[in-house]
Amino acid sequence: MEDQVRKFIQSRFSEAVIREDNFRGDQSFFLKPEALYGICQAFMDDSELDVHFLADVTSVDWLGHEEEMGGRFEVVYNLYSIQHKYRFFLKVMLPAENPTVDSLTPLWNGANWLEREVWDMMGITFTGHPDLTKILTTDELEGHPLRRDFPLTYEVPQFNWNKDDPPEVLK
Amino acid sequence: MEQKTLTLNMGPQHPATHGVLRVILEVDGEKIVKATPVVGYLHTGIEKTMESKLYYKAIPCTDRMDYLAPMSNNLGYCLAVEKLMDIEVPEKVKWARVCLAELSRIKSHLVWLGTHAMDLGAVSMSLYAFREREMIVDIYEACGGQRMMTTYIRIGGLAYDLPPDFEKLVRKFLKEMPARLDDYETLLTNNQIFIRRTKDVAVISAEDAINWSLSGPMLRGSGVKQDLRKDNPYSGYENFDFDIALGETGDAYDRYKLRLEEMRQSLRIIQQAIDGMPSGPYRAHVPGVVLPPKEDILHKMESLIFHFKLITDGFKSPKGAVYQGIEAPKGELGFYISSDGTNRPNRVRVRPPSFVNLACLPVLCEGSLISDAVCAIGTIDIVLGEVDR
């Protein structure tokens, strides 16, 4: 199955693959962000490999390792073939400034909440997402907590509901 | 202008939402037109906390996500770290872990059964289910000293050796449980009220279930044969003989029968694990990564030094990323650990089964009655600690 997935990607999208990685049996492909949607679409249309299950979408912040990784943010797509019992990963590297990648929600409904969570926690924008809003953090929280430069213990004051419009006594 | 639909707020404090889940329902009379789940009320930043700690010290965080099945969470995290560090654990550890993980599956399903039946009006079910759960909790207490937050499974082994009365307690449980499961069936399986509340309610087709990334009983209830214990065996599950329970129509009643069958299969696995439990050490011997056994720390200087170094400084992991998924009671629980070569993980991602399964709630309850929304929330089997993390 490992070779079949490689052949599938290499034969049709050879210029989109930056490199392939295999660590402890987890096969992963680093792709160019603009080619991601097309590859996933091809997997969805293909019935032989049966890669129709998107198990997870997550992201990693490589602050301080941008040079060697080729970008600050890594978005990891965890794909699984139920028929062949095989799991592999598609990864894209995104720049620190305005990280953006195509949303996979048109292909998988399951990507909806997973991408919302990545946006909320890591601040990666998914273009084409129907409802890219906060999901886990409170509305008052500014910033994206899972970024490496977000402080661990700092707390934003929560009682700021009338900060912009203070009562008469305080004016 | 006359308004046709009414917006109804359900939760966050509502007995049927099993915690702090809020659902905004748009209703037309009794019919739900639109349902929007709102989560995040219990968000505590567990992933961020785990990233700030040494690998060992993150284990207690995992208990607190799915607090109904703590052993499964411990197992998932420890297997992921063992995969990252390339550690092979002794046979006894594998068998004990399988036994404990299956006990936690029964424990989680019992709480689900009790609360789900209670939501649908069968209040006495919860008393029976919690009575049996108590036996499992007692086994946990004998193992790790804690009833719920056990932190018993550690990287490379277990926290302590299995207690002397472990086998006796488990055998007692195995003897009593099958009859109790039959009792539940007499109370619910042919109960007309229960059938009418669950049959053809909260239906999801196999294609939809795959498209919504569902896992566990939610996926198998629709007839998709996917179980990581069989498909990608971990912790020695390939040595055990059991069947995968499958549903047909993907409604709440199917999932009820499926979870009962899963409990029976878990009992089979526990029986095999306790009968064939090998003897041997309860921790792998990997100096510098796995903590030495407690007896050695008290008597050997080198072990004491290793212990001190590991607790204060941790161990350095190779650079790379691993993913380990396990079949938790609620679905596929995965840990994605990305390491940058230091003694702390660069990123720990938990793939929470409840969170992903909950996303399909609108599909399950749109077009049905308000009371069916209660059934839909119950049948997904969510734990808000895990949804929000």
Packed helices B370-380 and B252-275: angle between N→C axes, nearest 10 degrees: 20
Query: Does the beta carbon of A145 lie under 8 angstroms from any beta carbon of chain B?
Result: yes
Q: Which DSSP helix (H) or strand (E) runs through B297? A: helix B294-299
**Quick check: B320 contacting A, CB < 8 Å?**
yes
Q: How far apart are alpha carbons A140 and A44 in whole angstroms?
A: 38
> Is residue B389 within 8 angstroms of chain A, CB to CB?
yes
Q: For chains A and B, count residue pairs whose Cβ atoms are closer than 8 Å.
A: 112
Q: Which residue of A has its CA nearest to B38?
A: A135
Contact A56 B232 (CB under 8 A): no
- Using a CB cutoff of 8 Å and minimum separation of 24, what contacts does B120-128 make? B120/B193, B120/B194, B120/B197, B120/B198, B120/B374, B120/B375, B120/B378, B121/B193, B121/B197, B122/B187, B122/B188, B122/B191, B122/B193, B122/B194, B124/B187, B125/B184, B125/B187, B125/B188, B128/B180, B128/B183, B128/B184, B128/B187
Q: Residue B320 is nearest to which of A23, A110, A134, comparing CB atoms?
A: A23
Say which CATH number the domain at B194 has: 1.10.645.10
Q: Name the residue in chain A with its Cα closest to that of B48.
A: A146
From B232, which residue of chain A is nearest by alpha-carbon distance?
Answer: A85
CA distance A29 to chain B (A): 13
Amino acid at B146: Q
Q: What is the pLDDT of residue B268?
A: 92
Give the model's pLDDT for residue B137: 92
- Please count the other Cβ atoms lying within 10 Å of the Cβ belonging to residue A63: 13
> Chain A residues with CB inside 8 Å of B84's CB?
24
Q: Are strands A125-127 and A100-102 parallel, antiparallel or unpaired?
A: parallel
Q: Is the CB of residue B168 less than 8 Å away from at least one CB of chain A?
A: no
Phi then psi dihedrals of residue B73, to 5 deg: -65, -45
CB contact under 8 A, A82 and B211: no
Start-to-end CA span in chain A (Å): 69
pLDDT, residue B107, reads 93
Residue B232, SS3 per DSSP = coil
As beta bridge partners, residue A93 has A74
What is the model's pLDDT at position B335? 93
Chain A residues touching residue B321 (CB < 8 angstroms): 23, 26, 28, 60, 76
Residues of chain B with pLDDT under 70: 1-3
B253 inside domain: yes
Look up residue B261 and give its amino acid: E
Q: Determine the pLDDT at residue B79.
A: 92
User: Is B286 near chain A, with CB under 8 Å?
Assistant: no
Cβ-Cβ contacts under 8 Å for A165 (sequence gap 6 or more) = none
Nearest CA in chain A to B229: A85
Q: What does the pLDDT read at residue A116?
A: 92
**A27 touches A88 (CB < 8 A):** yes
The domain in which residue B85 lies consists of: 46-201+237-284+317-327+342-352
Distance CA B112, CA B119 (A): 10
Residue B307 domain-assigned (yes or no) = no
Q: Give the C-alpha separation, B324 to B237, whole Å.
A: 14
* Strands of B331-339's sheet in order across: B320-328, B331-339, B347-351
In a domain, B190, yes or no: yes
**Which amino acid appears at position B257 of this protein?**
K
SS3 content of chain A, % helix, strand, coil (to 5): 25, 25, 45
Cis peptide bond upstream of A145, omega within 30: no
DSSP B167-221: HHHHHHHHHHHHHHHHHHHHHHTT-HHHHHHHTTSS---HHHHHHTT--THHHHT
- Whether B306 maps to a domain, the answer reads no
In angstroms, what CA-CA distances link B236 with B79, B95, B101, B183, B229?
Answer: 12, 7, 12, 32, 9
Amino acid at B333: L
Q: How far, in Å, are A85, B12, B24, B197 from residue B369 at the CA level?
A: 38, 20, 14, 11
Interface ipTM:
0.88
| B364 occurs within a structural domain | no
* Spans in chain A with pLDDT lower than 50: none
β-sheet bridge partners, residue B16: none
- The confidence score (pLDDT) of residue B82 equals 92
pLDDT, position B97? 92
Contacts with B3 (C-beta within 8 Å, 6 or more apart), sequence order: none
* Neighbour tally for A118: CB within 10 Å: 26
Cβ contact B150:B127 at 8 Å = no
- Residue B210 and residue A52: Cβ atoms within 8 Å? yes
CB contact under 8 A, A136 and B389: yes
Most B CBs within 10 A among A27, A50, A53, hence the mutation to make, goes to A53
At position A122, the amino acid (one-letter code) is M
* C-alpha of B132 from chain center: 18
List, for residues A114-155, the tens digit of each pLDDT value: 999 999 999 999 998 998 888 988 887 888 889 888 888 766
In a domain, B125, yes or no: yes
- Is B3 within the bounds of a domain? no
Specify if B251 maps to a domain.
Answer: yes
Position of tokens 């987890």? A26
Spell out a b/e string for B1-30, using b for 16 or more CB atoms within 10 Å of the CB, else e.
eeeeeeeeebbbebebbbbbbbbebbbeee
A78 with B39: Cβ contact below 8 A: no
User: Which of B83, B204, B323, B356 has the most A C-beta neighbours within 10 Å, making it the best mutation to test the interface with A?
Assistant: B323
Output the six-digit token pair for A57.
């979408």
Q: Name which of B327, B343, B388, B331 is nearest B46 in CA terms.
A: B388
Whole-angstrom distance, CA of residue B335 vs CA of residue B80: 6
Domains of chain A, each with CATH number or no CATH: 2-156 (3.30.460.80)
- Check CB contact of A110 with chain B, cutoff 8 Å: yes
Q: Check if A84 contacts B (Cβ < 8 Å).
A: no
Query: What pLDDT is stored for residue A113 in this prediction?
Result: 92
In chain B, at which residue ranges do the beta strands (DSSP E only) sit? 6-10, 22-28, 31-38, 153-154, 157-158, 320-328, 331-339, 347-351
Domain count, chain B: 1
